[in-house]
A and B are shown apart, each in its own frame.
Chain A
Amino acid sequence: MLKLIIFKELREIILSTKFAATFGVCSLLIIMAFYTGIKNYQNSVEEYNASRAAEISQYEKSDSITSRRTVFLPPEPLASLVLGISNDIGRSAVIYDRSYQAFRDSTYSVNPVFAVFRFMDLEFVFLIVLSLFAILFSFDAINGEKERGTLRLSFASPVPRAIFIFGKITGAFAALGLPLLVPLLIGLLLLPVMGVTLSAGEWLRLIILIVCGMLYLGVFLTLSVFISCITKHSSSSFLFMLLIWVCSVLIIPRASALLAGNMIEVPSTSKIYYQRLQMANQQSREYLTKLNDIYNRFYKELAQSGDTSPEAMEQTQKKISVTLENIQADMDKNLGIYVSRLYEERYNRQAQQERLALWIARISPSAVLTLASTELCGTSLGLRNNYREKVAIYSGFYSDFIEKREKENQDDMQANPIKPSEIPEFIFQASEPALIMRKVFPDIAILLIFNLVFFSGAFIAFLRYDPR
């Protein structure tokens, strides 16, 4: 019985002209997303190699040791399929004196033409097209049959309701999900054909991404069937589904970030810089007051001692300069502590704001898919932090290397230029696969829960449904 219902549903969907049209569009978009992603990756690799070569060549030309160097974020094949924030963060960072300058040259700031309409990556196709695809084929799954009178006809035979609804959902999922695997497999095949080599971990992540896409399709499919069970007319269920789609795909994710931004204020870097300047000014004023006090105190002591010899005078001057140096060192240290505290506070608030925004956004299955796919492809918010940490660690390595070379040159009493092969390489590695899986797990679980909840909703609603 169940098989029969599944086959009926499968046939009904697959043999419709609607399916041929929408499936054609979906397939084309999926293959296009893979193709453009691969092309973009190849261009990025070319650009990255050229940038590195140009940066390294400065050592060949230079006779002196430079403490500044630029490092670049290497392109990742998966990051070209799901862009996430990779085009929004600066790709180059200038390193100097154990520190680094703000990340610059983000793709969108260098090429604003791409920022106007953005790119069309695999996540975008999944997000928009798969959900619409699911809605289009299941918004009238139950009430449509009721309107046409076929539902009453079906229940003229002894068909258990539970089996009917289960067959409907399973059949629709198989009819939509399985054909979609074809363009997805073609896309996967394009990767090795076009010369992109992926590691085993990357293949696994890509497969999990497709599983997430299927789960996302399932969410909209079960939700559509559920809405179709609780509404009388197919036009009403379509209206509801469209409103839900707009809210889920377009409104909730955006509103969540804006809402979190309004709830948790994060001080801007300019504001922190302003506070730093204020503190430095205050310290300068305090320093001047202390300077007067110290001069007065030491010269008073000198006058009281009655010793007017040049040695005593020199001794007092020395004491004054040592005291002032100590005060200055204390002030610098305090300023450093103050500024790092301000940055730490900003970092904490930003993390808090991001956490809040992402949790609000998770009300929407679309946001969940975005978060899962960007995490799997290494283009989530974690990319920025990871890159920042790696650059900070590398700046320490590089400074050690420069200091060592400078010392060697001083000992040798001659300037030996740095050979490009000697420079420690900046290695950027994406997070460990186990860590990625741990981070993606809650989102996969949420997608599963959405599926279960809507499936149960459809099940319960259909058991009480009036097929007349």
Chain B
Amino acid sequence: MLGTLIEKELKSILLSPKFVAVFSVCSILIILSFFLGIEDYKAAMSQYESVVSNNTQQLKKTTSWGGLSTTVGRRPDPMQIFVTGITHDVGRQAPIARVIKLYNSHYSENTIFAVFRSMDLMFIVQIVLSLFAILFTYDSICGEKEAGTLKLSFANQVPRARYIAAKILGSWIGLVIPLLIPVLLGVLLVIIYDIPMTKSHWLRFSVLMGVSFLYFSFFLCLGILVSSLTRRASTSFLYLLVIWVCFVLIIPRAGVMIAGHFVKVPTATQIASKYSIKNRELVEEYRKVTNEIMDKETAEQKALFSSTSLSREEIEKRYKELSDKTLAGIKTRGAKLSEDRAAYDALLKEDWRNRKAVREKLGFSLSRFSPASAFQLAADNLAETGIDLKYKYEDQIRNYRDIFSRFRDKKDLEEKDDYQAYQARLEGKAKPIDISEVPQFEFSGSDIDQLLQKTVIDIGILSFYILLAVAGSFIAFLRYDVR
């Protein structure tokens, strides 16, 4: 019975001209997204190679370790072919300096792409395939009622639960399996173009496909649910379209915007201004204290020099002690000033990081009311092109900066001890340094386990929504008036 029902559903989907039209459009778009992603990746790789080779040339010209400076670039990840995320918004290069600033993002350099944004696989799944799912299921129950075939079906002894299960399964098989064809063709393109995909990349891609099918399944089940709750196909479609607009276009944006309004994050300028005010206070205090120390020293010096009972040697000895004490006092104050400055700077940065994290957490939590957001966050996470990309990149650059600075300082000291090299530099005959020793920067992603762990919550949300839609469809259909 179930087999027959599934077969009927499959036939009605696959043999409809609607399927041919929509399936062709979707297939073209999926393959196009793979192709454009590959081209984009190749362009990003060429840009990265230019940055590396510029840097190498600059390093080769350097003749002194003390003057060594470098710029790092982010090696593009093949996963950006499928999910662009915020890759194009984040600066790709950063000069190694005290303050790490990323610059030269793809969108800031090639603004035309920022006008209409990219068209990656995630976009196709999130927007086009979800609409595709609705389009094939909005009339699955109420459409049959309108056509009179539902009444006809239930003239036979068909259990309602089995009928709705067959509807869901049939639609799923009829729509998901054909979509595997363009995806597989896309994968073939990736292989033909020799994109360096590792085992981990393939595994992440497979999970991404799994999440995509979960997302697609949700809209499919939602279509059947709304169709079981309405009497007319046109009403069902209207509701579904409003839900789709809310889920895909409104809630994700509104969630983050609401979080932005509720959690205020100070800007870099506000932080700098706060730091500057505090710094002025600290410096003022430092000056006051050091002046007091010096005034005290002057008074004591006066007393010392006006003393008649002390010998000249004794005065000189006490004078030296007094000077040393004053110097030590000033030095201690200076160290305290630096400590206080660093502590306040750390406090401001921590506050900024915490507020930012709270805003992001709230924004993403609110937007996760929409399965489209859950899907997007999962996809960004799996491809490592989400919000963490920027923070991770900056953190790794900071770590590299410390390694690089230590290396440079060590080499600089060694060079200063080398009299021959020093003499050669004075005579302008210094040889370029051996850059093979310079530590290299390589941006590395997270472990697959970590990524999967982070994705579990979104997979859970999507699965929960699917369960809800399936359960809802069952309950609604069991009570449905087929007449």
Contacts and interface: CB of A to CB of B under 8 A. Distances in A.
B54 A277 contact: yes
A247 B57 CA distance: 46
Interface in A110-130: 110-120, 124, 128-129
A274 B238 contact: no
Interface string A433-457: 0000000000000000000000000
B1 interface: no
Interface string B347-384: 00000000010011001100100000100110010000
Contacts of B380: 116
Given A113-B363, A117-B252, A270 B104 contact: yes
Contact of A116 (B85, B128, B241): B85
A370 B115 contact: yes
Interface in B149-208: none
B456 interface: no
- Binding site of A, secondary structure by majority: helix, strand, loop or mixed? helix
Contact of A88 (B32, B108, B235, B367): B108
Contacts of B110: 261, 266, 350
A21 B246 CA distance: 13
Given A108-B86, A238-B237, A50 B269 contact: yes
A22 B242 CA distance: 8
A258 B36 contact: yes
Contacts of B115: 84-85, 253, 257, 357, 370, 374, 380-381
B57 A281 contact: yes
A115 B116 contact: no
B135 A239 contact: yes
A117 B256 contact: yes
Contacts of A266: 110
A384 B107 CA distance: 12
B108 A106 contact: yes
A357 B112 contact: yes
A258 B118 contact: yes
A258 B250 contact: no
A85 B104 contact: no
Nearest to A261: B113
A254 B104 contact: no
A405 interface: no
B51 interface: yes
Contacts of B238: 18, 21-22, 136
Nearest to B363: A113
- Binding site of B, secondary structure by majority: helix, strand, loop or mixed? helix
Nearest to A84: B115
Contact of B119 (A110, A117, A254): A254
Contacts of B273: 50, 53-54, 57
B131 interface: yes
Interface string B457-470: 00000000000000
B47 interface: yes
A268 interface: yes
Instruction: Give the interface residue-count category, chain A.
Output: 35 or more
Contact of A112 (B29, B123, B390): B390
B101 A104 contact: yes
B50 A274 contact: yes
Nearest to B29: A251
A68 interface: no
Interface in B250-287: 250, 252-257, 259-261, 265, 267-270, 272-273, 276
Contacts of A136: 238, 241
Contact of A273 (B54, B242, B259): B54
Given A29-B250, A53-B273, A105-B268, A113 B114 contact: no
Contacts of A273: 50, 54
Contacts of A256: 116
B118 A254 contact: yes
Interface string A271-296: 10110010001000000000000000
A178 interface: no
A141 interface: no
Interface in B94-153: 101-105, 107-119, 123, 127-128, 131, 135, 139
Contacts of B86: 108, 112, 115-116
A350 B115 CA distance: 14
B72 interface: no
16 contacts: A25-B245, A109-B108, A114-B260, A116-B86, A117-B376, A118-B117, A124-B249, A128-B249, A239-B135, A242-B131, A246-B131, A250-B127, A273-B54, A274-B57, A277-B57, A380-B115
Given A36-B257, A105-B268, A354-B112, 5 more contacts: A88-B114, A112-B389, A120-B249, A273-B50, A357-B115
